[in-house]
Structure 1
Amino acid sequence: MQTSAVTDLAHTHARPVHWLTTATAMAAVVALAGLLQPDPAGAAGAHGAPAPRPAPDADTARFPLECGGNPSTIAQRATGDLDGDGNPETVAVVHCEAGSGTPPSGIYVLTHGKGTGTPAARVVATLVEPSQQKNVSGFTVSGGAVHATLLGYSTPDVPSCCPDQHEQVSWRWQGGTFVRTAQNQARTV
């Protein structure tokens, strides 16, 4: 005859007090998890701040260009937080469409339309007016600033295909306005 070495262990038999303890612990975990959930909007960033909005869509903006009945073209666009509010702005280089030649460009800073029901982007600053007769290359937004190379003409006799002036410039938001700085003086090529 063999004897069993298995003994009656207290934890091998579920008694009502064990089930009650387990159910109480589970209820406490569920209640704590419910308290630690994000707010109902689910769009809170760090420290309860609202999550940043997406950058404004340049295709929805109305640019202050006079194109004589021709459409305008967004040649370049870039986004970045320029004013430090945590929401990106869009910067667009825009010119009138032309059958030939190189039409002058404008550089515009866009933000979201006013009000919650206004999806269109709106122009809040003009960095370069097309009337300045400049073309734009080397365009970026980085480090909270807009950077560009402006191409221009020393005289009206210079062909529009071949700008003879290059100027590296940047704009940074300071004191409620965009301040322009030149990395080097305009130079003739």
Structure 2
Amino acid sequence: MQPLAGQDLLHTQPHPMHWLATATAISAVIAVSSLLQPAGALATTTGPSSPEAAPGTAAPDPSRVAFPVNCGPNRLDVVRKVSGDLDGTGGTQTVAVVRCHSEAGTPPSGVYVLAQPPGPKAAPRVVATLLAPSQRLSVQDITLDGRVVSATLQGYSSPDVPRYMPDVHKTLKWQWQGGKFVQSELPAHTATDGA
């Protein structure tokens, strides 16, 4: 039966709550799929100064790397990258920020250090994980200042926080010291700080 002129069927009209529920469901599916990783897909723990990171090599190309992230049916996107001599040995490493592709929402990011093995056909490889997607943070920006990598991150303090209002904001930095990357956190800022 059709409604009379001027009558609307309320249950057929989209409301903001319908869109919010749909966006929340999609975000949850994306978050869960990005956390699932195949067994044995851990990054190696050797540092960028391993013999494979030969001095004077070109910056490793992230598009040639198999990252330890399982995106299910979605592709993996390299969303940001910076390159430089992170360990001071004259070689060039790349820090790549990756996340599973999504048409809606922002899946968690992974931050990986890449080194180029010797040989013209050798693919770059992951030599360190600075931030794993399982930490459920999204990288907003990444910079390299000398040999210090800094990333601005956002995330959620609990599953109850609406996905469109991240309430965790932090800046982490990593520096090669004593044969490994040492992480430190810069002082947090809030919306009232004017940042």
Q: Same fold (TM over 0.5)?
A: yes
SS of the counterpart of 2:69?
Answer: coil
The residue aligned with 1:41 is none
Q: 1:122 aligns with which of 109, 125, 133?
A: 125
> Following TM superposition, by how much is the alpha carbon of 1:150 offset from its aligned partner in structure 2, in angstroms?
1.4
The residue aligned with 1:54 is 58
Distance 1:134-1:172 versus aligned 2 partners, 3 A rule: same
Q: 1:173 aligns with which of 176, 183, 186?
A: 176
| Structure (1 or 2) with the larger CA radius of gyration | 1
The residue aligned with 2:86 is 82
- Off by >4 Å, runs of 4+ in structure 1: 185-189
Structure 1 unaligned spans of 5+: 1-49
Distance 1:75-1:97 versus aligned 2 partners, 3 A rule: same
Q: Are the equivalent residues in 2 in contact too, given 1:105–1:133 (CA < 8 A)?
A: yes
In the TM superposition, what are the counterparts of 1:93-172 in structure 2 within 5 Å?
A: 93-113=97-117, 115-172=118-175
Structure 2 unaligned spans of 5+: 1-53
Alpha-carbon separation, structure 2, partners of 1:186 and 1:134: 16
Identity level (%): 45
> Following TM superposition, by how much is the alpha carbon of 1:87 offset from its aligned partner in structure 2, in angstroms?
1.3
Alpha-carbon separation, structure 2, partners of 1:87 and 1:147: 20
1:72 aligns with 2:76: yes
Equivalenced residues, count: 139
- Bigger relative contact order, structure 1 or 2 (CA pairs below 8 A, ≥6 apart): 2
> Which residue identity lines up with residue 82 of structure 1 in the other structure?
L
Q: Output the TM-score relative to the length of structure 2.
A: 0.66
RMSD: 2.0
Task: Please give the per-residue CA displacement for 1:13-72, whole angstroms capped at 9, x wherever unaligned.
Answer: xxxxxxxxxxxxxxxxxxxxxxxxxxxxxxxxxxxxx97111111111111001112210
The residue aligned with 1:45 is none
